[in-house]
Amino acid sequence: MKTSSVYKVLMTLVLLFGFSLNGNAQFLKKLGKKAEKAAERTIERRVENETAKKTDQALDSILEPGSGGKQAPKAPKTTGGQSDSGNNTGTGQNSGSTSNPSSKTIEVYSKFDYVPGDKLMFFDDFAFDFVGDFPSKWNTNGGGEVVTLGDSPEKWLELISGYALYYIPDVPQLPEEYTVEFDLMAVGIDNKTSSNAILRVDLSDDDKFKDGSNFVHARISACQYAPIGITMSNRINNKREIYSVVKADLRDEFQGRPHISIAVNKQRFRLWVNEEKHIDIPRIVPTGAALTTLKFHMNGFRDGIERLFISNLKVAEGGVDLRRKLISEGKVSTNGILFDSGSANIQPQSMGIIRQISQVLKQETSMNLKIVGHTDADGSNESNLSLSQKRAQAVKEALVSVYGISSDRLSSEGKGESEPVGDNSTTDGKAQNRRVEFIKQ
């Protein structure tokens, strides 16, 4: 009896989804060939997922009467309607936070030499996007949606593997010197994850969905059964100059929450994963060509099993040597020193800037510095003033405890939200206002 019932349920499901596919076929006739293929893949995935889910429920109710077709949940659900491992540890972006990429301490990052740009060009943590929508500041020729992971309110863009490219139209042209940062989260990767499972980061002179005549590609592998490394390639005036694989073992990083940092200084390209620098190529970026677009492309991940999410994307002009500026001008301001949300805990990846300041103080032994903290306008005036004072003091203490600078040479002050340099009604403006100044005394 049970076998017969199972057969009837399965036949009913096949007929139901057959009618669904016939309706979709009529719709697909109206689409172009490329869009048709993409839509077919999407429909197939959804039908497979729905069929599997309904079949499991039917089988459970027949083979295990009283279960109601419910299965024990294997993972927390994303708000976007899919399941996930829920290993997110982010704290969000309020008051200048970018979530800590790992549990490593400031001491581990004390030799981290990445310095983010100091003129914000673009920032997005999807705070103003609705879950389930594609983010309003991005563009794609494929798909993707904003989701939350587990019980955290932090939002992520889920990328689609295989055919989709993603870029940000609001960054019209990349300057000669700039930095790019973002957080990644991978779910479902294991020892079967392909060596071709990569996230490709593109700098291109094509402002749509092609490679372009001039580009730089960095392919970051999520493979778990072997250290595949990072593949770097470029094209200059339609001619490939560099194609090489740089050794890097990123398996542990992809089991957590890797923070990717990229610095472009004219022809030079450097890339860090968390605190470790893996790429430093002095002549790979094309010169004389306007690299207009930052793009992302995900490929080689198993559909429905391996998933990749991105958040906290920041593009900033600069990233130059702050040491020379401090010596020559006597003052530098940076929004690259990040803190945990609502606190004065310095995020470890910010230590590159503090390290450069310490190098100036060690070289210029007669120099004293005042450290000034600033916040955005979220919260009350009193709480922001207190927070800015604590953050300035935290930077002072890092210079003393980590780099051995005498406390007598340093003073700290907080100004809260009283001196904004950006519009506090926008995400970008708030990020500009959350900053730390170093002023020669």
pLDDT digits (tens, 9 = 90+) for 145-185: 999 999 999 999 999 988 789 999 888 788 989 999 999 99
Per-range mean pLDDT, top range of 99-103, 108-112, 402-406: 402-406
Q: Is the pLDDT of residue 373 over 70?
A: yes
- Which pLDDT belongs to residue 79? 53
pLDDT, mean over the chain: 81
Q: Is the pLDDT of residue 39 over 70?
A: no
**Higher per-residue confidence, 86 vs 439:** 439
- DSSP 8-state assignment for residue 397: H
Two structure tokens written together for 406: 């005498």
- Which pLDDT belongs to residue 376? 93
Determine contact, residues 79/131, Cβ cutoff 8 Å: yes
- Which pLDDT belongs to residue 368? 97
Q: Is the pLDDT of residue 212 over 70?
A: yes
- Which pLDDT belongs to residue 173? 80
pLDDT of 227-243, one tens digit each? 999 999 999 999 999 99
- Which pLDDT belongs to residue 109? 78
- Which pLDDT belongs to residue 91? 30
* pTM for this prediction: 0.65
CA dihedral for 434, 271, 197, 257, sign (positive or negative):
negative
Encode burial over 236-247: b for 16+ CB neighbours within 10 A, e otherwise.
beeeeeeeeeee
Per-range mean pLDDT, top range of 4-8, 209-213, 320-324: 209-213
Q: Is 61 helix (H, G, I), strand (E, B) or coil?
A: helix
Q: Which of 92-106, 336-350, 407-421 is predicted with the least confidence, judged by mean pLDDT?
A: 92-106
pLDDT of 308-318, one tens digit each? 999 999 999 98
Residues in CB range of 418: below 8 A, 6 or more apart: 381, 385
- Which pLDDT belongs to residue 8? 52
